[in-house]
Structure 1
Amino acid sequence: MRAQAEWQGRQGTAAAISSSLMGWQRIRFEVTEDASPEADGSRHAYTPALGAFTAVIGASGDIMVPEDRLRSVMLLARQGRVVLEEELDRLLGRQWDEELESFRYAGEGAPVRWLHAAV
C-alpha cells in the first residue's frame, strides 16, 4: 500500500512525524519540510534495510551538507579510510533515493509494474 499527504505545520513538524513513523519499523517513508524565510527545510527518509536518513534542505530544494561534514569526509578519503564518492552519496542520501524511487512514481494513474517472478 502507498499513501501520500500534503501538510502544513510549524517548523520541526517533519522531524516529529518521522520520529513517530520510525516506531513502526516495517514501513518505508519520506517526509519533507520546505524551507521558509525563517529556517531551512528538512528531509527525513526511512527504510527497514537502511534505517534513517536526515538532511537539511535549502530554499531551492537542494540538500545542504555542512562544511564540517564535507571536510571530515575529505580527510577520511585522503587517509584511505573511505571512498570519497561513496561517502558523498551517503551524505546526499543516494541509497534512500534509490530504494524509495519506485514509491514516488506509484501515485494515482502512474503505471507501475511489480514483477514477483521472472523466467
Structure 2
Amino acid sequence: MTAANTLRRRPATTSGVVWIHASPRALRTHLEWAVGHAVGDALRFVWQPQPAAPGAERTEVHWSGPVGTGARIASALAGWKDVRFEVAEDPAADSDGMRWMHTPQLGIAALRIDAAGGVLVPEERIRGAIEAAGPDARALLADLDDAMGGAWDRELEAYRHASDASPVVWLHRVG
C-alpha cells in the first residue's frame, strides 16, 4: 500500500460550555485543576460571587476539543459533592450532543441533546413511561419530566440567572 492510498482520519472535534454555578471558594483551585486535567491544559478561571448562594462563587468556561471532552469534564467535577454545575457538549458530525447537570441533592444527570439544545428522549424510554403510567396522566408526566432532567433544571434555574452578565473564558485543545 502506498502513502497515496492511506487516509488518516482526524478525530471529531466539538465545543461546549462548563458552568460551575456554585462552589465554595476553597474549591476554586481544585476545580480549575480538575477541568484543566480533563482538557489537557493548566487553567485559571474568572470567578464571581454567586448571588443565589451567599458565600459561593461561579464561573463560565467555553471549551473546544475532541468529542468526549464534555464527559471527561463532567466526570472530573462530579467528585466534588458541594458543587452545582452543568457541562454541555455540542453535537458533532458523528455524535449527539450531551448535557450533564449536577446538584449536591440530586447527583448527576446525563442527557442527549440535539443541535438546538433540546433534550432527546429515547423511544424506549417514552414507551416505557407510557406503559408504566397506564391511564394515570400524572404518572406519565412525572416520568417524562424525569427523562428530561426536570428536577435538575428546576434546582439549577436560580443559579443560571445569576450568570447572565458573567465574563467568558475560552479553552481550546489542539491535537
Q: TM class by shorter-chain length?
A: 0.7 to 0.9
1:116 corresponds to:
none
Partners of 1:71 and 1:109 in 2: how far apart?
41
Partners of 1:108 and 1:94 in 2: how far apart?
21
Higher RCO, Cα 8 Å, sep 6+: 2
Partners of 2:135 and 2:112 in 1: how far apart?
27
Match of 1:22 among 60, 73, 78: 78
Report how many residues are paired.
109
Percent identical? 40
1:98 corresponds to:
154
Matching of residue 61 in structure 1 with residue 150 in structure 2:
no
Matching of residue 88 in structure 1 with residue 172 in structure 2:
no
CA deviation map 1:45-96 (0-9, x unaligned): 010111111110112211000111111111111186x811111111111111
Q: What's the C-alpha RMSD, in Å, of the aligned pairs?
A: 1.7
Q: Show the 5 A alignment for 1:101-116.
A: 101-107=157-163, 109=165
Residue 101 of structure 1: how far off its partner (Å): 1.1
For structure 2, the residue ranges without an aligned partner over 5 or more in a row are: 1-56, 167-175
What amino acid sits opposite 1:104 in the alignment?
Answer: R
Structure 2 CA distance for partners of 1:72 and 1:107, relative to 1, 3 Å: same
1:35 corresponds to:
91
Q: Show the 5 A alignment for 1:60-79.
A: 60-78=116-134
Partners of 1:41 and 1:19 in 2: how far apart?
16
Residue 107 of structure 1: how far off its partner (Å): 2.1
2:10 corresponds to:
none
What amino acid sits opposite 2:83 in the alignment?
Answer: I
TM-score for both structures, normalised by structure 1: 0.84
For structure 1, the residue ranges without an aligned partner over 5 or more in a row are: 111-119
Secondary structure, counterpart of 1:56 in structure 2: strand
TM-score for both structures, normalised by structure 2: 0.58
Q: Looking at CA atoms only, which structure, 1 or 2, has the larger radius of gyration?
A: 2
Q: Show the 5 A alignment for 1:43-54.
A: 43-54=99-110
Partners of 2:82 and 2:91 in 1: how far apart?
29
Secondary structure, counterpart of 1:73 in structure 2: helix
Q: Which has the higher strand share?
A: 2
